[in-house]
Amino acid sequence: MKDLFSYYIGMFRLSVLEEFQYPVSAAFYMIDMVAEPIIYLVVWSSVAQSNGGTVGGYTAGTFAAYYIVWMLVRNMNIVFTPYGWEHRIRHVRLAMALLRPIHPLHNDIAWMAGWKVIAITLWIPIAAIMVWLFQPTFNPTWYQVVAFFVAIWGAYLVRTMFQTTIGLITFWTTRVSAIFELYFAGELLMSGRLVPLSLMPSWVRTLANYFPFQWTFGFPIEALIGNLTPAQLIYGLGAQVFWILFGVLIVNVFWGFAVKRFTSVGN
């Protein structure tokens, strides 16, 4: 366990150092990420203003708060994608990874976690500009801030486990894009990524209770900008723990079958 912890720390530091070598690339990436939330923000703020100042319990100010925090949550839960597993298999990277005495998933978690340092650093000035432009309305309590900090890492792990599961499908097929796009469509509708879940039809909100999506976007955002009680925050964090453990179980089961199918040749 001590060696695993040391591995995580080492990979985390290495990831941070590598990303700092390409600050311009990272900055342009973050600027590109701004487009999506600004479009959502402008559209829904306009809808709220045209409906007497509020829609679904959100005002223009609370929509601004939602999508500014959305930007940070979106970058925090970027994970190693299923397409990356395709690349690993095709370019013999997985064969090399299997020679190491550690599951490739540990590398993915530690490496992508290090990248979050860059994401947060670049998000701060962008968020400051958006606060100045859109005047968000929110006043979080200390326990909401603490819950939010835990929730964004929980969202990262939930998303990691389920996208890794989809990635393992590449052991049975050379293309995982169709399955991943289906997963992404479900996430878009039931996570709070497109719009807050309170604006979705009741059947979507009901269906979302049976999937992990809302705990990767909607819950972390609402933990900071919403009026969630301590009991609701604890419930949400507990739901994240459940889906993380469930995801770990699925990954371990799939991994056992997947590596048995893996073959590799080389010079």
Domain boundaries, the chain: 2-261
- Distance (Å, whole) CA 204 – CA 111: 34
Q: Bridge partners of 58?
A: 55
The residues pairing with 212 across neighbouring beta strands, listed in sequence order, are none
Q: Name 55's bridge partners.
A: 58
Whether residue 266 has pLDDT greater than 80: no
The answer to which of 187-196, 207-216, 256-265 has the lowest mean pLDDT is 256-265
Give the best-scoring range by mean pLDDT among 29-38, 168-177, 198-207. Answer: 198-207
> Rg of the chain over CA atoms, in angstroms?
20
Average pLDDT over residues 160-185: 87
Most distant CA atoms of the chain, gap in Å = 69
Per the model's pLDDT, the better-predicted residue between 133 and 35 turns out to be 133
Interval 5-17: pLDDT, tens? 888 888 888 888 8
pTM of the predicted protein model: 0.90
Please indicate whether residue 91 or residue 167 has the higher confidence score (pLDDT).
Answer: 167
Return d(Cα 144, Cα 131) in angstroms, integer.
19
With pLDDT > 90 as the criterion, what percentage of the chain qualifies? 33
* SS (HEC) of the chain: CHHHHHHHHHHHHHHHHHHCCCHHHHHHHHHHHHHHHHHHHHHHHHHHHHCCCEECCEEHHHHHHHHHHHHHHHHHCCCCCHHHHHHHHHCCHHHHHCCCCCCHHHHHHHHHHHHHHHHHHHHHHHHHHHHHHHCCCCCCCHHHHHHHHHHHHHHHHHHHHHHHHHHHHHHCCCCCHHHHHHHHHHHHHHCCCCCCHHHCCHHHHHHHCCCCHHHCCHHHHHHHHCCCCHHHHHHHHHHHHHHHHHHHHHHHHHHHHHHHHCCCCCC
Q: Is the pLDDT of residue 267 over 50?
A: no
Q: Comparing 76-80, 216-220, 237-241, which segment has the lowest mean pLDDT?
A: 76-80
Q: How many CB atoms lie within 10 A of CB 182?
A: 11
Residue percentage of the chain with pLDDT more than 70: 97
Q: Of 17 and 71, which is predicted with more confidence?
A: 71
pLDDT for res 158: 96
Confidence of residue 265 (pLDDT cuts 50, 70, 90): low
Q: Is the pLDDT of residue 124 over 80?
A: yes
Supply the pLDDT for residue 230: 93
